[in-house]
Structure 1
Amino acid sequence: MRSPTFRKMAAPVDLELKKAFSELQVKMIDTQQKVKLADLQIEQLTHVQKHANLTHAEISTLGDNTRMYEGVGRMFILQSKDDITQQLKVKQKTAEEKIKELEQKKVYLERSVKEAEDNIREMLLSRRAQ
């Protein structure tokens, strides 16, 4: 049977741990949502990158005098092969850069959650040592 003084001393520790766990839970949920969003964006950018790559591959087989049109809204604009090729290269490069940024963001988010978990573990170990 525990003494009444033990309960009074244990209560602040429990409240502090409870607060730390609830903050960790909020942080983890927020981070999971951000990681899912980053994954979706990476998937979309990968699709854009593949589409631009395939289009570039198809265009490269055509002759230089072939008339090419770029779709803009509901109309098509006559463009040179070089212009379209350049636009596709820019699309691919932009998508690749954004994918790298998103991957770095995911690593950062996962690292921050791990650090928060480690801090709570240290707090638990220090409480047990007392």
Structure 2
Amino acid sequence: MADEASRTAFFEIQGHMIETTAKLKQVQNQIHSKELEKKRAYLTLEELRPLPDDTNTYKSIGRTFVLEPKSDLMNEQAQKFKDSENALSSLQTSKEYLEKQIGEVENNLKELLQQDPGLARQIMSLSVM
């Protein structure tokens, strides 16, 4: 009976680990995406700054380019930069939380395997099949 309970607990922990790892990977991908967006906005701002105010600038909308005042483009890029920074700080917090959860799940798994050494053998025999 305890053997079956240990086995069930193991599979629950394993499922939680898989779920948490998937969430962490998703957050890491979002962080990467926001970093690229932030960098693109920063570089665009750096290219626009030295231009005279009366320069014709164009905004890309899909495959079309629309004439935009330089100030509007700069404001838009600055807002994208700020939004990306805010999103990155939020995503970083989520990443740290998920990493902490993974550590806790790993500790729970180690504890379970130390409490029931026979469980490790059973799990290994299941994975060989």
Match of 1:17 among 3, 6, 28: 6
Distance 1:56 1:113 in 2: 39
Match of 2:28 among 39, 49, 56: 39
Structure 1 counterpart of 2:36, one-letter code: H
User: Unaligned stretches of 5+ in structure 2?
Assistant: 118-129
Distance 2:87 2:11 in 1: 33
Structure 2 counterpart of 1:38, one-letter code: V
Match of 2:77 among 85, 88, 112: 88
Match of 2:120 in 1: none
- Is the 2:17–2:105 contact (alpha carbons within 8 Å) kept by the matching residues of 1? no
How many residues get paired?
117
Q: For structure 1, which segment, 46-55 or 97-106, has the greater mean C-alpha deviation from structure 2 after superposition? A: 97-106
Query: Once the two structures are superposed, what CA deviation does each residue of 1:73-122 show, in whole Å capped at 9, x if it has no partner?
Result: 22222111111011001111111111111111111122223333444555
Alpha-carbon distance, 1:56 to partner: 0.4
Match of 1:101 in 2: 90
Match of 1:56 in 2: 45
Structure 2 counterpart of 1:70, one-letter code: K
Match of 1:73 in 2: 62
- Give TM-score scaled by structure 1 length: 0.78
User: Unaligned stretches of 5+ in structure 1?
Assistant: 1-11
Report the RMSD for the aligned CA atoms in angstroms.
2.0
